[in-house]
Amino acid sequence: MIKKRVGVLISGRGSNMESLLEAAKERSYPAEIVIVVSNNPEAPGLARAEAHAIPTAVIDHRPHGKDRAAFERALEAVLEEHRVELVCLAGFMRLLTRDFVLQWQGRMLNIHPALLPSFPGLDAHGQALKAGVKISGATVHFVAPEADTGPIVAQAAVPVHDDDTPETLATRVLEVEHRIYPLALRLLAEGRVKLIGNRCHVAGIYPAADALVVPREAHLAPQVK
Ligand code: GRF
């Protein structure tokens, strides 16, 4: 099998990156992670990637100041050097220019910790709690010029609990992030994802069937009087 060559871009912890690295260890996985790039020299994810013996590169955005294009030229050079075919943003905190995004259109994924288009941008969990939603989740989508938009490849839903804080909700959502990112990359690398208008259709899989109902219908606790 010829595997797709993937570059993962991070800025921090790198747990989603690690979920991709773990998945890619499977022989039948259709993608290999060939380079992890961080814009932050202090990103803990760099050590995580090195522990998996994956090449890493740091392209510090700070020397480039406001010159995003210069930062991206350096990034592009690293991606080219490693013959990257697909890019996964995994907690990558830099906004990318329209030109860069269009260059990678249909070949660059991002993960966001909410059910987009709800709660884009920063503090998705705080936004979800403030809005009082009963269900939140995670989204993997193609990157489009406007942040946290772009055709959705995969989503997973989790319940929001009454006593949730942004931190407890983040922990629950992160678990499903680690499931859907490797799934979405697999589907893309296998060529199963077809873009029809703004919708991604996925070929050759059974449709999902379960509903998540919150609060749950069964096992009601005795009613408090
Ligand atoms: C994740 O919640 C991801 O959805 C968001 O930033 C966080 C990054 O976490 N974009 P990690 O660095 O992958 O652990």
Section 163-181 average pLDDT: 98
Going by alpha carbons, the residue nearest to atom 7 of ligand 1 is 91
90 C-alpha vs ligand 1 centroid, how far in Å? Answer: 6
Tell me how far apart the alpha carbons of residues 141 and 24 are, in angstroms, rounded to a whole number.
19
| Dist. CA 91 → ligand 1 center (Å) | 4
Average pLDDT, the chain: 96
CA 153 from centroid of its chain's CA atoms: 10
- Residue 201 annotated to the active site: no
Q: What is the pLDDT of residues 109-155, one digit of tens each?
A: 999 999 999 999 999 999 999 999 999 999 999 999 999 999 999 99
Determine the Cα–Cα distance for residues 16 and 175; give it in Å rounded to an integer. Answer: 10
Q: Which atom of ligand 1 is nearest to the CA of 13?
A: 12
Band of pLDDT at residue 218, cut at 50, 70 and 90: confident
Report whether 48 contacts 18 (CB < 8 A): yes
Please provide the DSSP assignment of 178-198 as one string: HHHHHHHHHHHHTT-EEEETT
What is the model's pLDDT at position 224? 66
**Kind of pairing between the strands at 4-10 and 86-89:** parallel
Q: Kindly state the average pLDDT of the residues 39-63.
A: 97
